[in-house]
Amino acid sequence: MSYAQSFGGNLDTKLGTARLDYAGASFSWLIGGAYGPVAPRVLNFIGAFPGGVKTLKEGFLGLGRSFGRTDLQLIGDYQDLEGFKRTTITLNCTVHLGSRSPHP
């Protein structure tokens, strides 16, 4: 869990975030969300809104699977910034180089 609040300036952020992760030997998942007032430029929504603070509602979910030296992770993210909605789906592939020994 985290909380971000800006002091001074013109961002007026008061954003709470929660995330839960599970990481097993060959399977992983994550789930979380965020809620609170945030300036659109903090989220790179530049030009989408006239100035001022908007309320962000965000949820995300991810699943991961390991195949030998390769890890695949699929993450979906939904954001609603007072009616401006966007969904992002990301596929990450990590290839581990070198030894993958379970013991240091």
* Rounded Cα distance, 96 and 75, in Å: 20
Tens digit of pLDDT at every position of the chain (104 positions): 999 888 876 677 889 999 999 999 889 999 999 999 987 666 666 555 656 678 999 999 999 999 988 999 999 999 998 888 999 999 999 999 986 566 55
The pLDDT assigned to 45 comes to 62
Find out whether 37 and 14 touch, Cβ atoms under 8 Å: yes
The pLDDT assigned to 100 comes to 57
Burial of 56 (0-12, 13-18, 19+ CB in 10 A): buried
Strand order across the 70-81 sheet = 2-5, 14-23, 27-38, 54-67, 70-81, 84-95
